[in-house]
Structure 1
Amino acid sequence: MSEAVPVLLSRCPDYQVRRLHEQFDRFAGELGVPACLAGRTVLLKPNLVSGWAPPLACTDGQFLRAVAEWFIDRGARLRIGDSPAFGSAAQVLQRQGIMALLAGLDLRVVEFVTPRPLRLAHGVTIAVAEEALACDLLVNLPKIKAHSQMYVTLAVKNLFGLVCGMRKALAHMTNGLSHQRFADLMLDLLAVLPEHVAFVDGIQVMHRAGPARGEPLFFGCLAAGRVQQAIDFGLIEALELDAARCPICVAARRRRMIGSTPSSLRFPLEQPDSLHGSGFIAPDRLAPVPFNPLRFAVNTARRVAGRLSR
């Protein structure tokens, strides 16, 4: 029997920097993140949906600043990157007011624009950003949100943002014939990534709808781990949601992936039931994964216009 996978859950009432750094210290100790990262390139991958989305739709700027400080203090060569639905990562950071919060830090914002085609386990070839692969440690920074198509956005779903630009929308259209096929694509993606770890922003979350237009909810939780699907299962339990309604969880269990059963998880810090009672609500029905063709065409035009305006 394989050793149980650690999923770190911790209460956190706010985005106070010192408190966050203390939490990250605990996470690093449990997950074996080195105290010294001198000479190593670390890429932070937040959830940057759009510059026009409400701030709640994106990884919180204070949280991102605290993570960035923590890694810089350990000597890392720090990069921040994402592939937003519209515009560039720099534009979203600017419009969301996050760039101002990052002022003075020794880091570089990178755009995910160079496609590297990778063949995944189920035979699908998808173009992952070269900029996302060119790091020694990939730090996944999801925001806990309800999701109209995939039930919730947690650790696995956030890494889909490593796919270059419009190729994400094309993947929705060509590999979204079922929720399970799309979930398999995202789970396959994990195997081709560099060393990675997740620090999850679950303090102020989005529920009822998402990933951009849901309602705020205080959950007061941080989460962390190295096995992305295990983090998802731990958070599903903490949020009192039904894993059987989450396509990613269903696909992971069907494939018997590590961390997809209660007996394969351990919680060194908080237990999931200690976080019960938040009142988080996920969508009752899931929307189709492929976009409406008209919406797809409009979104494509908007992305092209955004590129021309840079």
Structure 2
Amino acid sequence: MNVFRLLLGVLLTVLVLGPLMMMLSVSLNPDEAAISGMLGTAKAFFPSTFSLENYREVITDPYQPFLRYLFNTLLVTICTVGLGVLVNSAAAFALAWGYGSYRKLYVALIIALFVIPGEGLLIPLILMVSRLGWLDSYQVQIIPFIASSFSIFLFYQFFSKLPPELIEAARIDGAKLSTILFKIGLPLSKPVIATTAILGFLDVWNSYLWPSMVTRGVEFRPLSVAMAAFFNSQQSYWGNVTAFAVLMALPVIIVFLIFQRWFVASVVGSGVKG
């Protein structure tokens, strides 16, 4: 049984890391003829040449300014995720510990939003932002996606399990709901914050359909859309294409490594014992 688990673990590791290894190996090889010869063979997974020439060409490309795309993507992602954590956690805390009978109805509506595909809302949404004159801007990529029904529900599930005595004690001391959120709720919800931050980061970072519809030029274009344009212009240069892909994937890997401890804790199941 242990041998079977070991073999299964090795197989899964190979399946996950194999494409990444091939992408890294090809990106380090500046010889396009050699790359064409080793694609489809085992040599593609193991780097035989170590050169940063492909990365230099990607970063210094005057027609596809990678650093501008990176700045755009980082700005949009950080603003969307950061504001999303504040807005969604505040909404969830109000639903969990606020006053009024409306709370259960709102929770039911938020759950119902899960069944609505996001693509079905793109047309009315693009009409709205067009009326506002937001096309080809940063705010059109940020504001519509700050609120997330999934994040609100995730925070709500956590906040609703907090000990009532803890919340009531803070209220007796005269603390307002916002104060309780920032002094008690958010400090205790680090695993949930990490989970929503990672999932939100991945969602915004890899978003393609919406940015391709609302951005026109390189000034506001994110990496996901730029990757498609770069591939179309560099189809015969696999070294440059894979170098672009590695540079695009690197920030995602760094973010996951930073938040993985809280992310794993949230997935396993965390709660406050009282």
- TM-score of the pair, normalised by structure 2: 0.20
Please state which structure has a larger fraction of its residues in strand: 1
Please state which structure has a larger fraction of its residues in helix: 2
Q: Which has the higher contact order (CA 8 A, sep 6+)?
A: 2
